[in-house]
Each structure stands twice: as C-alpha cells, then as structure tokens.
Amino acid sequence: MAQGEIVAGCLAPHPPHLVYAENPEQNEPVAEGGWEQLRWGYERLRESLKGVDYDAIVILSPHWQTYVGTHFLGLENFQSLSVDPVFPNLFRYHYDMNVDIELAKQIHDKADEAGLAVRMMTNPDFRVDYGTITTGHMFRPEWDKPLVVISSNRSRAYYSVEVMQEMMIELGRVTREAILESGKKVVVLASNSLSHRHFTTESEIPEDMSKEHITSHAMHLWDMRIIDYMKSGQCQRIIDEMPEFTEQAIAETDGGAFTWLLSTLEVPDYPAILHGYGTIIGTGNAIVEWPVYQHKEA
C-alpha cells in the first residue's frame, strides 16, 4: 500500500453566517448575501484545491466541545437538522454526511496508544455540531468526500493554553501518523476563527454589512500579526505566541484546532496562501491554505 499523505491543511472558520449568506437549499433561512470577503475567500480556496486529488477530509471543530477526552464520530452516516443554539435565526441546516470510520478509528487508536483519552461516538441520535457542518459546507458544498470529525477537548479551560498545546501537538502528530499509514490522501481543516470577541447585539438585518467590523483595534492587530506569520512561513512563532494570542485576543484557538492543524503539517516553514480575511459579528476570520502538495520532498 502506498503511503498516505496530507495534501493540504486549511484554516477554515465556521461562523454560520457564511452558510446563511450563501442560501444553500439545505439551510432554511434566506439571506440577502453578506460577508462576501470571506465567502469569496472560500471560493478561492475551493478553486485552489480543484485539481488536487484527495480521499477524505479531517475536521477539528471547536463546537463539538468535550471535557472528557477527545471524541470521533464513529458511524458511517449522519443525517439530521442542525440548528445553531446561538444564531438559530441564521442556521437551520439539513445535513447528510458520510464518515470515514476506518480513518477515524485509526486516528483514535493511535491517540489511545499515545496516552490521550479518546472515545468513538456511536450514538445514532447524535447531532453533529454546526461548526463542523459550516466548515464542511463552505469547504466542499458537494459533501461528496467522507469526513473524519474530531471533537474539541477543552483542556485550555481545564488547565492552560500550554497544556492544550501539548495535547493538541500530540493529537496532531498521531493524526498525521495515522493518515500516512492509511494510504489515503487527506485534507485537514481547523474550523476556528482568530480573534473571537463578539458583538453582543445583532443588527436588525443580520447581513447588513454597514454594521460589520472588528470589535477593537487590538483584535485587529493580533489577527494581522498571526496572518503575517502564516504568510511568511513562521508557524513556530504562532505556536510560541499562542498563549498570549489566545488570552489577549480571546481567540478561538482555545479550542485547540489551530495547534492541532499546525502539528499535522509539522509546523510549516513555508508560506501559506491567504484566501480571505473578514469579520463576523466582530470576530476575526481568516481562510488560509497550506498547499502541502506544492512542497513535497523530492
């Protein structure tokens, strides 16, 4: 069997506003558009990966929050209605997604061997979190590739950013190992925003872009700093500054997805492609691709 590979890694944020603004048939509410900078960013990401062949998508979503270890979706198919508990007016999405159980179990087993607390989720009534669905839809609206869905262990809340990073670096390492051993070509997605201070009010028309902006200048400076590191291939500096970034920008990196992503990519030292940046109810969001397929070892 040929060795598997990670063909690309992406920062692919999940605010449900993006799906809402796209008006897909799966989503009940109807919008007049909005958040185009980010939606165009997703378009560019999809275009960038159009010619790249892969078998599965692995997502770590901050909105499947688990406190007792890390969990993996463990059934072949999930279908239901996902209603965002925070923005139910925007996101009521009928989903039908397939899971690569084999790969999920391989990552699970590797993580278990490495001493991480893990569990397969096999309850058929389980509703998949809206973060996974939003990222899944925006990344590949055809839903024609099986997914591996990994929960967000809240070790940052229980311990510290440092402990979270230790665990997520380890989870990223075993994720990579499992993918390489699987013989499959995989895209890995971290479904998180950058700075994450929300507005606490919503405009009468949610997609009214005259009301959209970053919550504060400090948040903007942090987001630009992290984006500069990504664009210039300095991901180790992101890892190094993650505690300050997470704390000061109230960043959604607290869910561990970003650290995990960088670890699966072995902390890239080559430039990432920034496909888009924009704010959603005040939070900072970047759509970023690490084109691993362009950096294969000879």
Partner 1 sequence: MTGGGIVESFVVPVHPHTVLAPEQNDGWGKLRQAYDDAAQIIKDSKADLLIIYSTTWPSIIDHQLISDPNPEWVMVDHDFHELGSIHYSLNIDAQFAAMWNNENHARGLQSRCVNYRGFPIDVGSVVALTLLNPDNKIPAVIVSSNVYADRSETTVLAKACKELVRKTGRRAVAITAMSLSNRMFTEHINPEDDRIHSLKDDEWNRKILEFLEAGRLEDVGQLSRTIQQQIRVQKVVNFKPMWWLSAMNDNRNNLTGKVLAYEAIHGAGCAVVNLNPAQSGFGNKEYDEDDVEVYSGERGVLDTTKPAEIESSEGPALWDPTEAEGSVNTKSAPKPVGAYPHARKVGDLIYLSGVGPRQPKTNEIPGGPIHDSDGNALDYDIRAQTQAVIDNIARILEEAGSSINNVLDVTSFLIDMDRDFQGYNEVWAETLGKVGPTRTTLAIRALPTPIAVEMKVIASI
User: Can you give the binding site for partner 1, defined by CB under 8 A?
Assistant: 64-69, 71, 80-81, 83, 85-89, 92, 117, 119, 121-123, 125-127, 129, 151, 153-158, 198-203, 211, 215, 254, 281-282
Residue 41 or 255 having the CB closest to partner 1 = 255
Burial class (CB within 10 angstroms; exposed 0-12, middle 13-18, buried 19+) of 53: exposed
For the CB of residue 129, give the shortest distance to partner 1 in the complex, in Å. Answer: 8
For the CB of residue 286, give the shortest distance to partner 1 in the complex, in Å. Answer: 20
Residue 37 or 66 having the CB closest to partner 1 = 66
Cα atoms in the Cβ-side hemisphere of radius 13 Å centred on 31: 24
For the CB of residue 159, give the shortest distance to partner 1 in the complex, in Å. Answer: 9
Q: Provide the greatest CA pair distance for the chain.
A: 56
For the CB of residue 131, give the shortest distance to partner 1 in the complex, in Å. Answer: 12
Residue 83 or 273 having the CB closest to partner 1 = 83
For the CB of residue 255, give the shortest distance to partner 1 in the complex, in Å. Answer: 11
Residue 211 or 231 having the CB closest to partner 1 = 211
Residue 39 or 156 having the CB closest to partner 1 = 156
